[in-house]
Amino acid sequence: MKVKKAVIPAAGFGTRFLPATKSTPKEMLTIVDKPAIHYNVEELIEAGIEDILIIIGRNKEDIANYFDRSPELELFLKENGKEELLELTERISNMANIHYVRQKDAKGLGHAVHCAKTFVGDEPFALLLGDDLVYATTPCIKQLADMYETYESTIIGVQNVDKSQVNKYGIIDGLKVGENLYEVKDLVEKPSIEEAPSNIAIMGRYILTPDIFHMIEETPPGKNGEIQLTDALRRLNQQKEIYAYLFDGKRYDTGDKLGYLIATVEYALRNEELSEDFRSYLKKLL
């Protein structure tokens, strides 16, 4: 079965990026010339997924406004003969079928994902965490969706991290069953360095099945008193096979100040219009 729907949770407070995120959603922080969430929607479209549910919280209207029409701006651009900019603006509002639901209480990622239950129905779906950007030749979600088509089972996108970083991620204990594929034996949310079963970290990209909703319903609050998706996956893994796929691509954590700066510099260096001047500026500066 093909993956045709996707969910982007974007309800978090963005506490790692205060004060910028006090009134601006962290998903709307700009990487070069587009908000971070635009890159994630592009990743989905390139993977052939156009039905997208964004889970928002209060103070997140900017996200819906961004993907909506901007009649006044469009009229202004039209009247001033700015055809290219007009086309760019219109393209954003026609990018995909974007739906929204509000997570009323900030009770954690598992709770946020559960808000997608009605939208998802009876189909597998892609889950992209708004903070994580992945730059890849084949969109990361496409790599995972291709795996799903073979295994018809939950697929988690993972990458190896430095042992010192394991306490920032969901970590898997896996048995290697293919070149880049692990059968998941166990999962643990943000373990200490001593407790971590490996350095294989969950990177904000998943293909999930509707089974996850029932598991979330049975999952008590875990780390930080929140309902953790990793705990629900752990529960699911006791009943069904789950795979972790070591995807190809560079992942950026844009919800973190340093991660955001790294993403900004690297995306700017890849930008046709800016790369030459920016590169020579950086060379001089350093």
Q: Residues 194-213: x/- map of binding to ligand G1P (CB under 6 A)?
A: -------xxxx---------
Q: Does 109 bind ligand G1P (CB under 6 A)?
A: yes
Contact pick of 27, 43, 132, 231 for ligand G1P (by CB under 6 A): 132
206 CA to centre of own chain: 9
Instruction: Specify the stretch interacting with ligand G1P by CB under 6 A; choose among 87-95, 98-106, 146-154, 228-236.
Output: 228-236
CB-nearer residue toward ligand G1P: 252 or 267 = 252
Under rule CB under 6 A, residue 170 binds ligand G1P: yes
Q: Name the closest residue to ligand G1P (Cβ).
A: 170
**Of residues 41-80, which lie at the interface with ligand G1P (CB under 6 A)?**
none
Residue of the chain from 169, 182, 252, 260 that contacts ligand G1P (CB under 6 A)? 169
CB 229 to ligand G1P: min, Å: 6
216 scored as a contact of ligand G1P (CB under 6 A) = no
CA distance 206 to 187: 14
Closer of 4 and 185 to ligand G1P (Cβ):
185
Q: How far is the CB of 24 from ligand G1P (least distance, A)?
A: 18
Q: How far apart are CA 260 and CA 254, in angstroms?
A: 4
Nearest to 74 by CA among 92, 95, 94, 89: 89
Where do contacts with ligand G1P occur on this chain (CB under 6 A)?
A: 109, 129, 131-132, 169-170, 189, 201-204, 228-230
